[in-house]
């Protein structure tokens, strides 16, 4: 953390006023959301201040992060989909209709933790779904997929302030197409589930979009829009999101697996997706609300 670089302590919590009172020695709060989110402009060593703030917060459900004071509002958002924008892992839900959810969910969990390689894990899980009727995809979409609170506000607010938004997923185009349209993402990238017109074949289109492909998508977007990495925000929850999270100027682990939370620049463990707006310094009166 360069000596000349200034940082802001960003705090998001329920009943944040009482937490602000605990942190008064670090500085006066600038409120972003009444009793919910505030900034403290730091004068001393930022890492020491962060550690002190987290110690003072104790076991409270608070998201406390350091963000550079300059360039907080990002011009590009690149986001994972499953367990980040929507609240399920679609493969696991497809498996539920096939009667093998525990088996597939266990593989998903290990892949997201980084314990096994993503590409081979995806092929294995898709192979177990061979013969599943295509009608099940529609049932998962309508019966299981729900947006995580704050998703609509996040995308709408960033877009109205000029940012480009990209949804990248190790999941499948059937779902990214619909989620991107529903939420308002400018673009989406994902994998293709192969079928014979009636049922899944148990295969996935090649090449498979995994960790390296997500990073490559970020790099292409930076080049295409003539942006620096510092102007990008990347968010995800799994190990296959880590490369893009570490590359972006603001990389956020969202309700993430421990390996991701430990390596990301910022971590949201308690808040919803509106936390990504507060991390960028947006106030409530600047947020575009979902109708």
Give pLDDT tens digits for 84-106. 999 999 999 999 999 999 999 99
Which CATH number applies to 73-291? 3.40.50.1000
Please give the Cα distance from 64 to 96 (Å, whole number): 36
State the helix-helix crossing angle for 90-98 and 118-127, rounded to 10 degrees: 30
The arithmetic mean of pLDDT across residues 29-48, rounded, is: 95
Residue 1 pLDDT? 44
Pick from 224, 229, 233, 223: which is nearest to 161 by CA?
Answer: 233
Q: Does domain 1-70 have CATH number 1.10.3470?
A: no
Please give the Cα distance from 267 to 264 (Å, whole number): 7
Residue 95 pLDDT? 96
Question: Is the pTM of the predicted complex or chain greater than 0.85?
Answer: yes
Residue 81 pLDDT? 98
Taking 3-state DSSP, the helix, strand and coil percentages for the chain, each rounded to the nearest 5, stand at 40, 25, 35
Please give the Cα distance from 137 to 54 (Å, whole number): 43
Residues of the chain with CATH 3.30.70: 1-70
Q: How confident is the model at residue 2 (pLDDT cuts 50, 70, 90)?
A: very low
Residues of the chain with CATH 3.40.50.1000: 73-291
């Amino acid at each position: 953390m360069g000596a000349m670089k200034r940082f802001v302590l960003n705090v998001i919590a329920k009943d944040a006023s009482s937490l602000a009172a605990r942190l008064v020695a670090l500085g006066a709060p600038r409120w972003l959301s009444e009793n919910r989110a505030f900034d403290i402009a730091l004068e001393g060593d930022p890492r020491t201040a962060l550690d002190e703030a987290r110690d003072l917060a104790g076991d409270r459900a608070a998201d406390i992060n350091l963000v550079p004071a300059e360039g907080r509002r990002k011009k590009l958002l690149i986001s994972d989909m499953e367990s980040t924008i929507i609240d399920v892992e679609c493969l696991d839900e497809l498996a539920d209709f096939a009667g093998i959810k525990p088996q597939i969910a266990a593989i998903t969990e290990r892949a997201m933790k980084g314990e096994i390689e993503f590409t081979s894990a995806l092929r294995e899980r898709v192979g177990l779904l061979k013969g599943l009727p295509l009608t099940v995809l529609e049932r998962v979409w309508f019966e299981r997929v729900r947006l995580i609170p704050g998703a609509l506000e996040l995308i709408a607010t960033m877009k109205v302030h000029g940012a480009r938004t990209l949804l990248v997923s190790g999941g499948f185009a059937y779902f990214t197409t619909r989620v991107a349209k529903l939420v308002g993402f400018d673009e989406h990238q994902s994998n293709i589930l192969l079928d014979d017109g009636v049922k899944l074949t148990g295969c996935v289109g090649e090449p498979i979009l995994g960790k390296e492909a997500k990073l490559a998508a970020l790099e292409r977007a930076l080049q295409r829009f003539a942006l620096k990495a510092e102007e990008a925000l990347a968010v995800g929850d799994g190990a296959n999101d880590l490369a893009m999270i570490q590359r972006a100027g603001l990389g956020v682990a969202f309700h993430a697996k421990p390996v991701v939370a430990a390596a990301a620049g910022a971590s949201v463990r308690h808040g919803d997706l509106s936390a990504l707006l507060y991390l960028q310094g947006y106030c409530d009166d600047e947020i575009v609300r979902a109708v």
